[in-house]
Amino acid sequence: MMAVFEKSPRLRHIGHLDIQRAVQRALRRSGLPVSYSKGFNPHILLTFASALSTGYAGRREIMEVQLEREVSPEAFLSAMNAAMPPDMQLSEAKMLPDQHIALMAAVQAADYTITLTDDAAAAAIAAKLPAFLAQESIIALRRTKSGMKETDIRPLIHTLKAEGNALRAVMTLTERLACKPGMLLDALAAFCGFEETPRVMVVRNALLGADTAGALAPLETL
């Protein structure tokens, strides 16, 4: 069963592992026939399409749960919504075909709203956005296991526009390659000549996959 859930802004400081544990406990409360792994330390068979960083909220996060027997999406939704905390409600559930590609591998990009707390900074960035995007390449620093690495994030930015004091961005997010909001902001701050990266509130609106024609679309619709 695949389900879409929210991580409300109130919970944005809760890390991915804690969110994962909260979902596991909700599943245990729900009374749904969840499957457990075999072995010494059995755990619920639960995966997430993508881990959401500490500090970010998510509107349409995606999880997949294995069940022992068939349950209708409606029954799944209502059992889970009764069991999930108010700040982590589900909006959709859907049965996945037996043979489907791993959700994690299907994610291609993500859609973010990045709200700046400082209006002046927001205005300055909005003004410079066309010039920023006109660059041929944008080198950003990315932390990896083997130290800082330079990445050209320009090809990873699919769309980027200003909406009031926020930025709306669709950026590549795969297991191999990603442009996270933090990298984008660092690059924007450097481009605008800010001394430090402005404070923001990040909401991940959707996880996107590629449809048969290769166009990006919300993962849960594919």
By CB under 8 A, name the binding residues for other proteins. Answer: 8, 10-11, 13-14, 18-19, 21-22, 24-29, 31, 36, 40-42, 55, 83-87, 117, 199
Tell me the DSSP string of 120-147. Answer: HHHHHHHHHHHHHHHSS--EEEEEETTE
Residue 150 pairs in a beta bridge with 141
Q: Nearest distance from residue 57's CB to other proteins, in Å?
A: 12
Q: Which is nearer to other proteins, 13 or 94 (CB)?
A: 13
Q: Nearest distance from residue 62's CB to other proteins, in Å?
A: 19
Residues 6 or more apart in contact with residue 9 via CB below 8 angstroms: 57, 201, 203
Provide, for the chain, the percentages of residues in helix, strand and coil under a 3-state DSSP scheme, each rounded to the nearest 5: 30, 35, 35
Count the Cβ atoms, other than its own, within 10 Å of residue 92: 14
Residue with tokens 């043979």: 99
Written as one letter, the residue type at 150 is: E
Residue 113 pairs in a beta bridge with 168, 203
Q: Nearest distance from residue 202's CB to other proteins, in Å?
A: 11
Q: Could you give the CA distance from residue 143 to residue 141 in angstroms, rounded to a whole number? A: 7
Q: Which is nearer to other proteins, 21 or 94 (CB)?
A: 21
Q: Nearest distance from residue 87's CB to other proteins, in Å?
A: 5
Q: Which is nearer to other proteins, 11 or 170 (CB)?
A: 11
Q: Which is nearer to other proteins, 25 or 168 (CB)?
A: 25
Q: Which is nearer to other proteins, 55 or 218 (CB)?
A: 55
Q: Nearest distance from residue 105's CB to other proteins, in Å?
A: 28
